[in-house]
C-alpha cells in the first residue's frame, strides 16, 4: 500500500464502517456481536493495482471476481482512465441528458462501431436502470402500436436483471424476490437452459437440447398469446444464476422465435458486455442480432458509474415517426445519465482493451483457465461441471456426479472462505438460489496471466482438498 493511511486511521475507518455503513447483501450481526471474541471486522478494501487488492490489514488478495461483481475488466489503478475522468470533470462534470456531451457523443460512436446493427445509445447509471429503460421502451411501443396489448415481457428462470421492483419482477431467482412483493404485472417466466440440469426438466431430450430449450419459450408465447408478448429479456451467459453457457443451437432458435412472433429481443449484457467473454458482447458468439442491448459493469470497469441501453434504428424509429404527436417520444430521464465521467472513463476503458489486445487475452486465458478447472474436476469428484466463456467461468459443486445433488451452500461458503484465507477472492452463485448456490464463480480482470490463473486455481485446489478431504 502507498502508506497514505496509517494503522490508527484505518482502525477509525473500520469503526466508522461498523457503526454506520450498511453493506450490500450482508448480515451485520458478525460485525456487531456483543461477545468481543466472536466479533469480526468488516472488510475494507483500501487499494488496488492490476489484479490485486489490499485490505485494511495490509493483506494482499488476488481478485478473481473483478471487484466482487464482474466489474473491473481492465484491472485496478489505471492512471490513464483517472486522468481522462479528471480532465473531463474540470471541463464539464455534468449536464442533464436532454443535451449531449462531448464524451457521450464520442463514446456512443465507439460503442456502435463494436455493435453492427445497433444505432442508438441511451445513457443511465446502473444495470438495473438500463434494463428498466428497455422495459419502458417495450411498454411504450405496446401503447403506441398495439393499444397497450403487446406489453408482456418474458424473462428466464435463474436470470437476474437488477434490483428495482420492476427488475425483480423480471427476476428468475426466487429467494432474491421473497419479501419484496407485490411485483409489477406483465412479466412472465420461461424455463432455464442449463443443460447440466436438464434431468430436472420434464421432457428434455438427450439430443438437441438447445433447440428444445428455446422451443419452451415458444410454448410460453403461444400460451400467453403472441399478441400480448412484446419482448424477451435474456442474459447471453447467465451470471449469478450459475454461469450458464447456452447450449448449442439455443440462441439461433431464440432469434427465429422472436422474429416469428414479432417479439423484441432484449439482451442483458450487464455482466458479459465489453469484453468479459472474449468478444465485445456475449451475444456476438452466436451470430444473432438483438433489438435492445443493456450494459453496465464493464463499460467503464467501475472507474465511473455508467450504463447504456442500446437499440436498433427500428426501435428508435418508433419514437420519432410522428413529431406532431406530443406523446411520441421516450418520456424517460436519468439524472446521472448526464454525468460526463462515465463516458469519459468508458472511452479510455475501451481504448485500453484495444491497445492491450485484452479480448484476445481474455479468450486465451479463459481457455487456459477452463482447462485448469477441468483438471480440478479430474482430481476432485465434487466438481460436477466446469463451464463458461472467456474469463467468465464457473465450477458447479455436487455431492455426487450421478445424482448431481448440489453441495450445501454453507459448504460452498467454506470453500470461498478458505480461498479468502489464502489471499484469493473468488465468488459463488447467488445466495438467493437456495439449493442452487453451488457454483464457484471466476471472472478475473481481462489482463490475467497464466501465473495469476495458476495461483487462483491452486488456491481452489487447496480449498477443495481441505473442505472435502
Q: Which residue is nearest to ligand PMP (CB)?
A: 127
Cell of 414: 467454506
CA atoms within 13 A on the CB side of 12: 5
Cα distances from 323 to residues 60, 112, 186, 268, 326, in angstroms, run 58, 25, 29, 30, 7
* Integer Cα distance of 263 and 369 in angstroms: 37
Tell me whether residue 296 or residue 347 sits nearer to ligand PMP (CB atom): 296
Residue with cell 468488516: 42
Q: Is 162 in the site for ligand PMP (CB under 6 A)?
A: yes
Are 125 and 337 in contact, with CB atoms under 8 Å apart?
yes
Touching ligand PMP, residues 220-239 (CB under 6 A): 235, 239
Letter string b/e over residues 305-319, b meaning 16 or more CB atoms within 10 A of that residue's CB: bbbbbbbbeebbebb
CA atoms within 13 A on the CB side of 89: 10
Touching ligand PMP, residues 38-97 (CB under 6 A): 69
Q: Minimum CB separation from ligand PMP for residue 169, in Å?
A: 13
Q: Minimum CB separation from ligand PMP for residue 278, in Å?
A: 17
Residue of 101, 128, 349, 363 that binds ligand PMP (CB under 6 A): 128
* Integer Cα distance of 417 and 410 in angstroms: 10
Q: Minimum CB separation from ligand PMP for residue 291, in Å?
A: 17
Q: Minimum CB separation from ligand PMP for residue 236, in Å?
A: 9
Q: Minimum CB separation from ligand PMP for residue 266, in Å?
A: 11
Tell me whether residue 311 or residue 443 sits nearer to ligand PMP (CB atom): 443
SS3 66: helix
Tell me whether residue 372 or residue 443 sits nearer to ligand PMP (CB atom): 443
Tell me whether residue 272 or residue 457 sits nearer to ligand PMP (CB atom): 272
DSSP 37: G
Tell me whether residue 233 or residue 459 sits nearer to ligand PMP (CB atom): 233
Touching ligand PMP, residues 290-309 (CB under 6 A): 296
Residue of 85, 213, 270, 448 that binds ligand PMP (CB under 6 A): 270
Residue with cell 460503442: 111
The kind and range of the H/E element at 136 are helix 127-146
* Integer Cα distance of 459 and 376 in angstroms: 11
Site string for ligand PMP, 249-268 (x = CB under 6 A): -------------------x
Touching ligand PMP, residues 271-290 (CB under 6 A): 271
Tell me whether residue 50 or residue 343 sits nearer to ligand PMP (CB atom): 343
* Integer Cα distance of 262 and 259 in angstroms: 5
* Integer Cα distance of 139 and 411 in angstroms: 43
Tell me whether residue 235 or residue 452 sits nearer to ligand PMP (CB atom): 235
Touching ligand PMP, residues 107-126 (CB under 6 A): 126
Interacting residues with ligand PMP (CB under 6 A): 69, 126-128, 131, 160-163, 235, 239-240, 268, 270-271, 296
Amino acid at each position: 500500500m502507498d502508506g497514505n493511511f496509517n494503522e490508527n486511521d484505518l482502525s477509525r475507518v473500520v469503526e466508522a464502517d461498523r457503526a454506520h455503513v450498511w453493506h450490500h447483501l450482508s448480515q451485520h450481526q458478525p460485525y456487531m456481536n456483543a461477545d468481543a471474541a466472536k466479533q469480526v471486522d468488516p472488510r475494507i478494501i483500501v487499494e488496488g493495482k492490476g489484479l490485486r487488492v489490499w485490505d485494511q490489514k495490509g493483506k494482499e488478495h488476488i481478485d478473481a471476481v473483478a471487484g466482487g461483481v464482474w466489474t473491473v475488466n481492465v484491472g485496478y489503478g489505471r492512471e490513464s482512465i483517472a486522468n481522462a475522468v479528471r480532465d473531463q470533470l474540470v471541463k464539464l462534470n455534468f449536464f442533464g441528458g436532454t443535451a449531449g456531451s462531448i464524451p457521450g457523443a464520442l463514446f456512443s460512436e465507439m460503442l456502435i462501431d463494436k455493435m453492427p446493427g445497433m444505432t442508438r445509445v441511451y445513457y443511465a447509471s446502473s444495470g438495473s436502470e438500463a434494463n428498466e429503460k428497455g422495459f419502458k421502451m417495450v411498454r411504450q411501443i405496446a401503447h403506441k402500436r398495439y393499444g397497450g396489448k403487446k406489453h408482456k415481457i418474458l424473462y428466464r428462470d435463474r436470470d437476474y436483471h437488477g434490483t428495482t421492483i420492476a427488475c425483480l419482477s423480471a427476476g428468475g431467482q426466487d429467494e432474491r424476490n421473497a419479501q419484496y412483493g407485490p411485483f409489477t404485472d406483465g412479466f412472465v417466466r420461461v424455463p432455464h437452459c442449463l443443460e447440466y440440469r436438464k434431468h430436472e426438466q420434464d421432457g428434455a431430450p438427450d439430443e438437441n437440447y438447445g433447440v428444445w430449450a428455446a422451443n419452451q419459450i415458444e410454448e410460453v408465447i403461444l400460451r400467453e398469446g403472441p399478441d400480448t408478448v412484446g419482448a424477451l429479456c435474456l442474459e447471453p451467459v447467465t451470471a449469478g444464476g450459475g454461469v450458464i453457457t447456452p447450449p448449442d443451437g439455443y440462441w439461433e432458435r431464440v432469434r427465429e422465435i422472436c422474429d416469428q412472433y414479432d417479439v423484441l429481443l432484449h439482451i442483458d449484457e450487464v455482466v458479459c458486455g465489453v469484453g468479459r467473454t472474449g468478444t465485445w458482447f456475449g451475444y456476438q458468439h452466436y451470430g444473432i442480432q438483438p433489438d435492445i442491448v443493456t450494459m453496465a459493469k464493464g463499460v467503464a470497469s467501475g472507474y465511473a458509474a455508467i450504463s447504456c441501453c442500446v437499440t436498433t434504428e427500428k426501435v428508435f424509429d418508433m419514437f420519432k415517426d410522428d413529431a406532431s404527436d406530443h406523446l411520441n417520444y421516450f418520456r424517460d430521464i436519468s439524472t446521472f445519465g448526464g454525468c460526463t465521467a462515465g463516458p469519459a472513463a468508458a472511452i479510455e476503458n475501451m481504448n485500453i482493451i484495444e491497445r492491450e489486445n485484452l479480448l484476445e487475452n481474455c479468450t486465451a486465458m479463459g481457455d487456459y483457465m477452463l482447462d485448469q478447472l477441468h483438471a480440478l474436476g479430474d482430481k476432485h469428484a465434487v466438481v460436477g461441471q466446469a463451464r463458461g466463456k472467456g474469463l467468465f467461468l464457473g465450477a458447479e459443486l455436487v455431492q455426487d456426479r450421478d445424482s448431481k445433488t448440489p453441495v450445501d451452500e454453507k459448504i460452498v461458503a467454506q470453500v470461498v472462505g478458505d480461498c479468502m484465507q489464502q489471499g484469493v477472492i473468488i465468488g459463488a452463485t447467488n445466495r438467493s438460489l437456495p439449493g442452487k448456490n453451488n457454483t464457484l464463480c471466476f471472472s478475473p480482470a481481462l489482463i490475467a496471466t497464466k501465473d495469476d490463473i495458476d495461483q487462483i486455481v491452486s488456491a481452489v485446489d487447496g480449498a477443495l482438498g481441505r473442505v472435502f478431504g
